[in-house]
Amino acid sequence: METGARLHFGFGNLSLAHGRLYGAAGVGVDGPHVRLTAAPAADVVCDHAIARRYAERVSSLLDVPGARIEVERTLPRHMGLGSGTQLSLAVLAGVARAYDRDPRVRERAPALGRGGRSGVGVAAFEDGGFVLDAGHPTARFTTDRPADGDWTVPPVAAHHDVPDDWRFLLVVPDAEPGRADGAEDDSMRAVVEDADPGVADRVAGVVQRRLLPAIAEESVERFGDAVAEVGRLNGAWFADEQGGVYRPPVGELVAALDGSPAVFGAGQSSWGPTVYGVTDVDHADAALDAGERALDAAGVEGDASVVRARNEGAEVSTGAGF
């Protein structure tokens, strides 16, 4: 089975003063990929340590004896591409289908520690495309994340296929991975406790009056401008935790991309260090050049690529979706 990465543009609200917390926007992209095979087995057999842990948990959830998992390709971990969610759900769906079971991805994702704050990764795994999730009731999901399994994945508030001619520039610098696990929980707790509620009002205005109309009307320039603004506003919440509106060296990369007419908006995906740029097929080559020049200007090694959006969910080898 195979699934793609996801880009995370930012949250709608991080302030306890509002009735709903989080509420994320993002998009599924067709590369890089997670690719694995799963077959029934008397025990869990897997050479990939992280996938093996997921398979052990999945075997318990599905009440099956085990599975043989062969991981052919994974996403780079903690780089802002959704590696944990996509791998865990791929294992879940692969093992379920190996036993001819319904994976019930959205229902079981919380037991794997997924969908706790953002629902973008789960929704991208299910259906791809552009996703805006509705977040969690603030009274239920406060500064401390509930235990794994004690939440539901945020419902999808808006979903759109991404136009076929849109492209996304990915610039991945050789930098420290983004925050995850306990470090991420600590940082998120600190952010939520101090978040300015006024920023959420500004994000809401951008989402309602600029972002959603842009995707509905298929305007790539206005979409890029809007997601970049959502990212900048999110950076006001995260500045103390990550050392600025963007974490180093993302700020230098984004600044360089902002100067390219081939990139209609740029920002940091999740905790980074992956930087995205919004472009289209006519500007893809120029956007790729801009990404490579941005790395040079920032004085860091790394990789730049241009990918399509993924407007479908995860697939098994037969092409049947989950």
Does the pLDDT value for residue 163 go beyond 60? yes
Domain 2-31+112-307 is found in CATH 3.30.70.890: yes
pLDDT for the residue numbered 194: 92
**Residue 82, token pair as written in the block:** 């959704």
As to burial, measured by CB atoms within 10 angstroms (0-12 exposed, 13-18 middle, 19+ buried), residue 169 is buried
Does the pLDDT value for residue 25 go beyond 70? yes
Does the pLDDT value for residue 148 go beyond 80? no
pLDDT per residue over 254-306, tens digit each?
999 999 999 999 999 999 999 999 999 999 999 999 999 999 999 999 999 99
DSSP code string of 38-94: EEE-SS-EESSHHHHHHHHHHHHHHT-S-EEEEEEE-PPTTSSS-HHHHHHHHHHHH
Q: Where are the domains of the chain?
A: 2-31+112-307
pLDDT per residue over 55-112, tens digit each?
999 999 999 999 999 999 999 999 999 999 999 999 999 999 999 999 999 999 999 9
Q: Which one has a higher pLDDT value, 72 or 143?
A: 72
* SS3 call for 192: helix
Does the pLDDT value for residue 179 go beyond 90? no
From residue 262, how far is each of 168, 220, 259 by CA, in Å? 11, 11, 9
